[in-house]
Amino acid sequence: MTEPLRILSVNAHPHDFTHTAGTLGIHTSRGDTATVVSVTAGTQTHNEKLHDELMKPVEEQDPAIVNQSEDEIAAIKDKELRDACAVFGVSDVRVLGFPQPFRLSRYPEAVDKIAEVIQDVRPDILIMQSPYTRSHQGRSGVTADDHTETALATLEAKGEASRPRPGFRPHSIATTLFPGVYFERNDHDFIVDISDWFEQRVKAEAYYVSQGHTEDWSRRRMLVMLGYPGWFTGTLYAEGFVRERPELVPAIPMSELTLRKATESVEERYDRMVGKAGKDF
């Protein structure tokens, strides 16, 4: 019997994990484990209430919003993240709390903190921020922001966790993946059908009230973000992934879903793409 997989998701902000949340839900429902890490508390990211309040004349601003402390905002962001993770069966949630803007040159200790998590979790799969600001093929135009800097810190941490030295048990991660949202569609190495997890994605998205999310807005966002890769792969909703490097396989990989798509009728394909197909696909 195959051992359950251990998955580690390392992100810049509390919301970033959602880009692959449906896939995490599929795996936890199968008995695999998932750990979600946010390198920052996200206090300076998508604080929409504060943004809108500061747009008003000073005399009209609400002091309770304008003077809200970083600790208060961090606590709100933390709860939103944990509530969203719980939707997908993820209970191991860790917020490292580094200040924003996060820059590796300012906080080099982040490498050790992430390496400690890798050592503790010992993941088979690492899902992390993309270090590229353009397509995987171009690999150019890298710009410093919380996401790319978190990616650089994570890559260094991965190397540190695998480096052998006395009194240390090294750990090498089998495969590293980047969320497809950071790439062009044709750059995706594979796409996961999460059609059965769409409502959970909407529910999780709506938890991020501090970012101005409502259920209606969340549903519209998911229809677009998940429907786009789903449409081009012949299903309702999907999440794409890009591999850090090619994977070693024993033979040409071919999923049952891909084989079935090649032999189905046009009517069957259309039914699946609008949600009328049977659940056994």
- The reply to whether 221 and 253 lie within a common domain is no
pLDDT at residue 135, as a whole number = 45
1, part of any domain: no
- pLDDT classification of 28: cutoffs 50, 70, 90: very high
- The reply to whether 108 and 11 lie within a common domain is yes
pLDDT at residue 237, as a whole number = 97
* pLDDT tens string 103-127: 999 999 999 999 999 999 999 999 9
113, part of any domain: yes
168, part of any domain: yes
- pLDDT classification of 139: cutoffs 50, 70, 90: very low
- The reply to whether 57 and 92 lie within a common domain is yes
- CATH number of the CATH domain containing 117: 3.40.50.10320
Q: Is the pLDDT of residue 137 over 80?
A: no
Number of domains in the chain: 2
175, part of any domain: yes
pLDDT at residue 143, as a whole number = 59
- The reply to whether 243 and 262 lie within a common domain is no
Alpha-carbon separation of residue 89 from 68, 76, 122, 241 (angstroms): 31, 20, 19, 21
Alpha-carbon separation of residue 224 from 97, 213, 263, 277 (angstroms): 31, 15, 28, 21
pLDDT at residue 223, as a whole number = 97
- The reply to whether 119 and 235 lie within a common domain is yes
* pLDDT tens string 173-225: 999 999 999 999 899 999 999 999 999 999 999 999 999 999 999 999 999 99
pLDDT at residue 138, as a whole number = 45
- The reply to whether 189 and 268 lie within a common domain is no
Instruction: Determine the structural domain holding residue 92 and report its residue range.
Output: 6-248
- The reply to whether 126 and 152 lie within a common domain is yes
More confident residue, 270 or 94: 94
pLDDT at residue 1, as a whole number = 53
- The reply to whether 165 and 281 lie within a common domain is no
Alpha-carbon separation of residue 176 from 118, 125, 173, 225 (angstroms): 12, 6, 7, 22
- The reply to whether 27 and 63 lie within a common domain is yes
Give the residue from 193, 79, 176, 62 showing the smallest Cα distance to 127: 176
* pLDDT tens string 38-70: 999 999 888 888 889 899 999 999 999 899 999
* pLDDT tens string 221-258: 999 999 999 999 999 999 999 999 999 999 999 999 89
